[in-house]
With several copies, the nearest count.
Chain A
Amino acid sequence: MTDGHRLPTETGRAFADFKDKAPNWCPGCGDFGVLGAMQRAAAELDLDPDRTVLVTGIGCSGNVTAFFRTYGFHGVHGRALPAATGIKLADPALTVLVAGGDGDGFGIGLGHLVHAARRNLDVTYIVMDNQTYGLTKGQVSPTSAQGFVTKTTPDGSPDAPVDALALSLIAGATYLGVGFSGDIKRLTELIKGAVRHEGFSLVQTMSPCVTFNKTNTFSWYKDRLVDLEAEGHDPTDRAAALHQVTRTDGRIPHGLIFRTERPPLHRAVGVLGGREAAPATEDLEFTLRSRAADLKALRDRFA
């Protein structure tokens, strides 16, 4: 922190401190619950809005950046994780949250998800899964069930859904939780755990689209969610986690599925050259002068 402008701000923030523009989602949209949980988690963790960045892709869910009062980066569709990678590595002192939809994350952005997970990028990724493309008015999504009928799949979707939980686990996510917009309390705890966790954490959240998905409704989810805690699931047990994410009984595990420790990308040898947390706004002019000798030595290697 070479720049004086990074002054500490007061702590003890409340829910309201993370409110920004009023959300313009449809009344009843699942995303309200997710936003609420994010705001509660931020307040309870006492995140510093000036040192937190929320990175989103494009979708109804992606619009959350405008409603959540931290620094925000609303990138292009499907590329929230790459943008977040640049942000986190350039300034590891920042808390980086990433949010978006099932299409954004598991459709167009699927490759980045796997690559971010295997790198154990230290961000918290909250996917608001409504099993449809909300913003473009209800087409099939990668998590839609086979046979799902939409205007682009009038005979039903021919594709088996992307198994986002199992893929993320295999890909190397070190924190994996499933939340539900209808259970803000548990979702808040999952998000808090994810932010505290150092490494790639995915909070896959069931967040119904009340306008375009008349199948996967709040009650549809309620009927299928199983409480992992009640089931006595041990999230540190990889085999048990694998078992949960490959369930064939049609139930959706709800809660913390998996957690493990592995050095995150920004602590890997060579990635940051040993710097703990260099601020992005490093005083380059100063470095240029103070390390001129090193720079010239490098130059003279070419002589």
Chain B
Amino acid sequence: MGRFEASPVSVRRTVHERSSGVRIPAPDERGGSSSWRIGGLAGEGIDTAGDLLAKAHVRAGRHVWVTRHFPSRIRGGLTTCTVRVAGHPVAAPSGVVDVLVALHADGADPVKQSLRPGGILLYDESAVTPPDGPTDHEWVALDATGMAKALGEPRARNTIMLGASARILGLDMTVLEDVVVERFGKKRDEGRLSEVAEKNLAALKEGFDGVADVSPPPRPLPPETPRQGDLFLSANEAFAYGALVAGCRFYAGYPITPATTIMEYLAATLPRFGGVCLQVEDEIAAANMAIGAGFTGARAMTATSGPGLSLMAEAMGLAGSTETPVVIVDCMRPGPSTGMPTKTGQEDLSFLLHGGHGEVPHVVLAVEDLASAFTTAIDAFNLAEHYQCAVYVALDLALSMGKGDTPPFDVDGVVLDRGKRFARVGATEGAGAPETGEGYARYRETADAIPLRAVPGDVGGRHYANSTEHDERGYTTEVPATRVAMVDRRNRKLGDIDTLHQGLIFEGDKDAPLGIIAFGSPVPVIREALALARPQGVAGELCVMRRLLPLPRAELDAFFDRHERVLVVEGNSTAQLLSHLRAHCPEAHRAESLLKYDGDPFRVDEVLAAVMRPSEVTA
């Protein structure tokens, strides 16, 4: 037995073990959703094609989830983009593909690309040679290379394939034309199109005309339920946008996959709101800069992934000791060390919980879908300023780089909590006379343990923020009683967080024997698995952890109490979330664990296999 030291009463299961022999169908196979995948080399417009198709679906009133798969190198490796479309909200890949488009031979392996038996393989005949003899799949050839050349736009192979896909899928061409035009040129009604837009429109049509109708279509398209203004974006974009709305005005960062798109979004937008976005020399600098900015009263943030987070360990303590608000986002990818930069995982949890050296009160939040990415950004900045501490937000690559649809974010409903500010509160809270500053003490005890915060420029709020242990005015101290009082106050100040922030979201059937606990990208997968399990007679309640620290203890205990069987699902090999729960909730020792750590996101069928006990599957 290695590091995973499960209690004897519990069950540990990974999705990597040999299956029990029971075949769990992928969700698409049950209908209601369908998946299309395009594969080729990076630089062949794979992502663009995927985005355009997905956007067309969203405009038409369907739900989508787009996943990208690419190697950690720039060119030459196979890249795929998969668009899953459904009649209900989805944020998880299906695991099985109905239509596969291959721009390159490497993308034309139906087994590797999970093309279902009977699925359609649309390929560029200049790049791919179909196998001799009969196969399980329907191979559809198109001379995309030749057509693109003839159009004078050799890079339009992807658009040609998109047109052909529209026909095969039975998709309305006008919506697709709209998104192509938006992407490559002016809006249709805004006058003349750019040349490249014209060519891509032509390419779209060539592709459409180049293949025959498929009837019946590979899988009927889900119904259209048009909604107004639905967005199509990644969780990184949703979070970065939320940060901007929340009033983030300082960002310092260092590029790292999959966090970089947060910086890219803020670089383009922050200056328009008087904010600063800076790419700096390393993550140590980034974190210390964000803390410096937070010290002045600005809402400040940095985002990174595992290796950068490790470099921020010392800054974690600095924010804790100086009680400076700061938001630090960790877009997780698998480790250890450089690990798998273009894959997903949830391996940084323990590190986020336990931080650097010493004891640092802080908050750890998690995002599980696009809507929560936006609201969590607001929450993160509010909690950071309210509690005067660092707030960590965990995302993972599946969310950071996956894209989907979500209803428009409610900007008007956003409420800001700037915390206890000297400038506003003035002489209250036993702070003395703010005019002279003699009476003010930055770290003085208060009823709720949260001190009164002044920032440079506050007349009379002058003080000393100190990384060394200090007295209530910030001066270095070694007096044992002062030290104990400081530690106790810092430990105590997050005590009422449950009243300010809803750490757990409960979904589903409270009375069912089964309860599932998870955070992050596995959540939408579990949602779907539970929806599929219900018609088969297995119900369950899902506990979504939006806050991992401080742990919402009481609610968790109640959750354990009401469920006979509890399953903890997480993307790592040592059951970090389960260990965290076990350290605090004795009942967690009887929970089961479902783990995945191969770099890919959980699949619905994998969760379903764990949800349904073998006896229930055959039932």
Q: Do A and B bind each other?
A: yes
Q: Which residues of A contact B (CB under 8 A)?
A: 3, 5-7, 9, 20-21, 24-27, 49-53, 55, 58, 60, 63, 65-66, 69-79, 82-87, 89-91, 93-94, 107-108, 110-112, 115, 133-137, 139-140, 142, 151-155, 158, 211, 270-275, 278-282, 284-285, 287-288, 291-292, 294-296, 298-300, 302-303
State the 3 A-B residue pairs at the shortest beta-carbon distance, nearest first.
Answer: A86-B292, A273-B271, A284-B247
- Say if the beta carbon of B278 comes within 8 Å of chain A: yes
Contact of B288 with A83 in the complex, beta carbons under 8 Å: yes
Q: How far is the CB of A44 from chain B (nearest CB, A)?
A: 20
Is B268 positioned at the interface, with any CB of A under 8 Å from its CB?
yes
Residues of B contacting A280 with CB < 8 Å?
293, 296-298, 455-457
Q: In the assembled complex, how far is the CB of residue B451 from the closest CB belonging to chain A, in whole angstroms? A: 16
Which residues in B have their C-beta under 8 angstroms from that of A300?
229, 231, 408
Structural contact, B245 and A74, CB atoms closer than 8 A: no
- By size class, the interface of chain B is 35 or more
Answer yes or no: B118 CB below 8 A from chain A CBs. no
| Nearest Cβ on chain B to A83's Cβ, whole angstroms | 4
Q: Looking across the interface, which residue of chain B has its beta carbon closest to that of A136?
A: B255
Contacts of B181 in A (CB 8 A): none
Does the CB pair A281–B455 fall under 8 Å? yes
Q: Mark B220-251, 1 if CB is under 8 A from A, else 0.
A: 00000000011111000100010011110110
Q: For residue A296, which residues in chain B have a CB less than 8 angstroms away from its CB?
A: 411
- On chain A, the residues within 8 Å of B292 by CB distance are 55, 73, 75, 82-87, 90
Q: How far is the CA of A2 from the CA of B273 in the complex (A)?
A: 15
Q: Are B456 and A86 in contact (CB under 8 A)?
A: no
Docked CA distance A153–B458 (Å): 33
- Contact indicator B458/A272 (Cβ below 8 Å): no
The complex places the Cα of A74 from the Cα of B321 at a distance, in Å, of 10
Some 13 contacts from A to B, beta carbons below 8 A apart, are: A58-B468, A71-B462, A74-B465, A86-B252, A87-B292, A89-B293, A90-B249, A90-B296, A94-B456, A273-B271, A280-B296, A302-B237, A303-B232
Q: How far is the CB of B484 from chain A (nearest CB, A)?
A: 21
Bound together, the chains give a CA A24 to CA B42 distance in angstroms of 12
Interface centre among A55, A74, A292 (most CB of B within 10 A): A74
- Which B residue's beta carbon lies closest to that of A57? B467
**Pairwise interchain contact A86-B241, C-beta atoms closer than 8 A:** no
Smallest CB–CB gap between A87 and chain B, Å? 4
Given contacts A87-B293, A112-B285, A284-B418, contact A271 B457 (CB under 8 A): no
Residues of B within 8 A of A285 (CB): 416, 418
Is B12 interfacial (CB-CB < 8 Å)? no
CB pair B288–A90 under 8 Å, yes or no, is no
Query: Do B231 and A86 have beta carbons less than 8 Å apart?
Result: no
Residues on the B chain within 8 Å of A288, using CB:
245, 247, 411, 414, 416
Is B372 an interface residue, CB under 8 A from the partner?
no
For A285, the closest partner residue in chain B by CB is B416
Cβ of B525 within 8 Å of any chain A Cβ, yes or no, is: no
List, in ascending order, chain B residues with CB within 8 A of A90's CB: 249-250, 276, 292-293, 296-298, 300
The residues of B that contact A66 with a CB separation of less than 8 Å are 464, 466, 475-476
Q: Which one of B257-265, B563-571, B576-584 is at the A interface?
A: B257-265
A137 surroundings in chain B (CB, below 8 A):
74, 260
Rounded to whole Å, the gap between the CB of B38 and the closest CB of chain A is 20
Report the Cα distance A203→B250, complex, angstroms.
28
A108 to B284, CA, bound (A): 9
Q: What residues of chain A lie closer than 8 Å to B299, measured between beta carbons?
A: 284
User: Which residues of chain B (293-310) have a CB below 8 Å from chain A?
Assistant: 293-300, 307
Let me know if B495 is at the binding interface, CB within 8 A: no
Contact B458 A110 (CB under 8 A): no
Asked if A85 and B289 sit within 8 Å, CB to CB, the answer is: yes
Instruction: Report A-chain residues with C-beta under 8 Å of the C-beta of B307.
Output: 76-77
Does B423 have its Cβ within 8 Å of any Cβ on chain A?
yes
In the bound complex, what is the Cα–Cα distance between A50 and B256 (angstroms)?
Answer: 34
**Given known contacts A86-B288, A211-B74, A280-B455, is B297 in contact with A91 (CB within 8 Å)?**
yes
Kindly state whether residue B3 has any CB partner on chain A within 8 Å.
Answer: no
Chain B residues near A152 (CB, 8 Å)? 253, 255, 260, 263-264, 267, 277, 279
User: Of all chain A residues, which has the CB nearest B298?
Assistant: A90
- Choose from A21, A91, A151 the contact partner of B456 (Cβ within 8 Å): A91
Identify A302's interface contact among B232, B249, B455, CB under 8 A. Answer: B232
> Which residue of chain B is the closest to A269 with respect to CB atoms?
B271
Q: Are A291 and B273 in contact (CB under 8 A)?
A: yes
Q: Chain A residues near B317: list those with CB within 8 A.
A: 76
B474 CB–A CB distance under 8 Å: yes
Let me know if A79 and B288 touch, CB within 8 A: yes
Q: Which residues of B contact A26 (CB under 8 A)?
A: 43, 74-76
* A278-B464 in contact (CB<8A): no
- CB-CB under 8 A from B245, the residues of chain A are 288, 295
Evaluate contact between B338 and A275: CB separation under 8 angstroms. Answer: no
Say whether B512 faces chain A, with CB atoms less than 8 Å apart.
no
Q: Are A73 and B465 in contact (CB under 8 A)?
A: yes
Which of B273, B296, B462: most chain A CB closer than 10 A? B296
Cβ A87 vs Cβ B232 within 8 A: no
Question: Please, how many angstroms separate the alpha-carbon atoms of A149 and B405 in the complex?
Answer: 30
Q: Name which residue of chain B comes closest to A80, CB basis.
A: B288
Check if A298 sits within 8 Å of B269, measured CB to CB. yes
Q: Is the CB of A299 within 8 A of B252?
A: no
B458 contacts A50, CB within 8 Å?
yes
Q: How far is the CA of A90 from the CA of B290 in the complex (A)?
A: 9
B198 in the interface (beta carbon within 8 A) = no
Interface pair A295/B463, CB less than 8 Å apart: no
Contact A139 B274 (CB under 8 A): no
Q: How far is A135 from B285 in the complex, measured between Cα atoms in Å?
A: 21
For residue B315, CB closer than 8 A to chain A, the reply is: yes
Residue contact A271 to B293, C-beta cutoff 8 Å: no
Which of B43, B267, B287, B464 has the most chain A CB atoms inside 10 A of its CB?
B464
Residues of B with C-beta under 8 A to A298: 241, 244, 269
Q: Which residues of A contact B270 (CB under 8 A)?
A: 273
Closest to B247 in A: A284
Q: A134 contacts B467, CB within 8 Å? A: no
Whether B314 contacts A76 by the Cβ 8 Å rule is yes
Smallest Cβ distance from A207 to chain B, in angstroms? 14
Pairwise interchain contact A303-B231, C-beta atoms closer than 8 A: yes
Chain A residues in 8 Å Cβ range of B76: 24-27
Contact A65 B416, beta carbon cutoff 8 Å: no
Q: Is the CB of B288 within 8 A of A82?
A: yes
B112 within 8 A of A: no
Tell me the bound Cα distance from A176 to B301 in angstroms.
Answer: 32
Residues of B within 8 A of A94 (CB): 296, 456-457
Q: Are B241 and A281 in contact (CB under 8 A)?
A: no
How far apart are B411's CB and chain A's nearest CB, in angstroms? 5
Taking a contact as CB atoms under 8 Å apart, the answer to whether B322 and A73 are in contact is yes
Pick the residue among B246, B263, B411, B437 that contacts A299 (CB under 8 A).
B411
A87 touching B414 in the complex, CB below 8 Å, given contacts A73-B322, A76-B314: no
Q: How far is the CA of A51 from the CA of B270 in the complex (A)?
A: 25
Q: Is the CB of A5 within 8 A of B458?
A: yes
Q: Select one of A27, A50, A76, A85 contacting B318, CB under 8 A.
A: A76
- Which residues of chain A are near B475, meaning CB under 8 Å? 21, 66
User: Taking the nearest CB of chain B, how far is it from the CB of A88, in angstroms?
Assistant: 8
How far, in whole Å, are A302 and B290 apart by their CA atoms in the complex? 28
Give A92 Cβ to nearest chain B Cβ, in Å.
10
Residues of A near B298 (CB, < 8 A) are: 90-91, 280, 282
Is there an interface contact between B237 and A76, defined as CB atoms closer than 8 Å?
Answer: no
List residues of chain A with CB within 8 A of the CB of B459: 5-7, 9, 50
Report the Cα distance A59→B231, complex, angstroms. 34
Q: In the docked arrangement, what's the CA distance between A55 and B455, Å?
A: 14
Nearest CB on A from B466, distance (A): 5
Per a CB cutoff under 8 Å, which of A9, A49, A292 touches B412? Answer: A292
Chain B positions within 8 Å of A50 at CB level: 437, 456-462
Bound CA span A110–B73, Å: 24
- Bound: A85/B249 CA distance, A: 14
* A111 with B74: CB separation less than 8 A: no
